[in-house]
């Protein structure tokens, strides 16, 4: 089982549950429609990797930066920023045929995370930033989400058991794009002006 880093130690998530179409601007940039119900799909533990790849099995990858929560005792207890890598061309073809997305979303190496840290006390808004080669490409906050973290947890738990260590990825803001070999990525998560966690990757 692949592990992710925490403030203290490491843990191996059994699964990653992902929410799609949770930011209006991102829905519009891909030409999708706002879904009537929350869009949910899963990635396996084997999708977690420390290395950011620009392609997989000969297919180009696109980045989607997300606020990610870790479950403990049935609640969100820790938070990080993460990359949900996507085979966009393949995903578009699967969607047109009405088929599942796993081939485009759940492949090995399709999930990367910063270290998970405890969620700040109170109701602080969280802000996500992604810089590529020093340029701000993605910016999103919890208040911009269609479904808040509280509603996401409630909805997932209505039909699925979340075990300790499971990760929930809450959707990506606008600004997604192709991963190019050699690009320098830096993802940051803030509560107000305070930096909570960050990660840097060089695409290969």
Q: What is the pLDDT of residue 36?
A: 78
The confidence score (pLDDT) of residue 46 equals 97
Parallel, antiparallel or unpaired: strands 184-191 and 126-132: antiparallel
Question: Residue 180: which of 148, 134, 132 has the closest Cα?
Answer: 132
Is residue 13 predicted with pLDDT exceeding 60? yes
Please state which of the ranges 31-45, 68-82, 173-187 shows the lowest mean pLDDT.
Answer: 31-45
Which one, of 195, 165, 198, 172, lies nearest residue 75 by Cα?
Answer: 165
Give pLDDT, residue 20: 85
Task: State the number of CA atoms in the 13 A half-sphere of 137 facing the CB.
Answer: 21
pLDDT in tens, 153-164: 999 999 999 999
Per-residue pLDDT reduced to its tens digit, 54-82: 999 999 999 999 999 999 999 999 999 99
| Among the listed residues 17, 26, 23, the one whose alpha carbon sits nearest the alpha carbon of residue 148 | 23
Rounded to an integer, the average pLDDT of 117-135 is: 92
Residue 31's pLDDT is: 63
Section 113-137 average pLDDT = 93
Which of 20, 38, 65 lies closest to 157, judged by CA? 38
Q: Is the pLDDT of residue 27 over 60?
A: no
Domain architecture of the chain: domains with CATH: 4-202 (3.90.850.10)
Q: What is the pTM of this model?
A: 0.94
| Per-residue model confidence (pLDDT) at position 35 | 66
What average pLDDT does the segment 69-97 reach? 95
């Amino acid at each position: 089982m692949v592990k992710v880093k925490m403030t203290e130690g490491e843990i191996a998530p059994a699964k990653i549950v992902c929410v799609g179409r949770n930011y209006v601007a991102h829905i519009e940039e891909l030409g999708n429609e706002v879904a009537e119900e929350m869009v949910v799909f899963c990635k396996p533990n084997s999708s977690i990797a420390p290395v950011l790849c620009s392609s997989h099995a000969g297919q180009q990858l696109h980045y989607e930066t997300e606020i990610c929560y870790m479950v403990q005792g049935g609640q969100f207890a820790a938070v990080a920023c993460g990359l949900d890598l996507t085979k966009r061309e393949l995903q578009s073809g699967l969607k047109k045929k009405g088929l599942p997305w796993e081939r485009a979303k759940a492949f090995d190496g399709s999930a990367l995370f910063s270290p998970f840290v405890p969620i700040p006390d109170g109701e602080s808004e969280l802000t996500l930033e992604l810089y590529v080669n020093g340029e701000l490409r993605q910016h999103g906050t919890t208040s911009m989400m269609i479904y808040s973290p509280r509603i996401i947890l409630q909805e997932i738990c209505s039909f699925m058991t979340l075990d300790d260590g499971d990760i929930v990825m809450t959707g990506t803001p606008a600004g997604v794009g192709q991963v190019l070999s050699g690009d320098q990525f830096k993802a940051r998560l803030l509560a107000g002006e305070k930096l909570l966690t960050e990660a840097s990757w060089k695409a290969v």
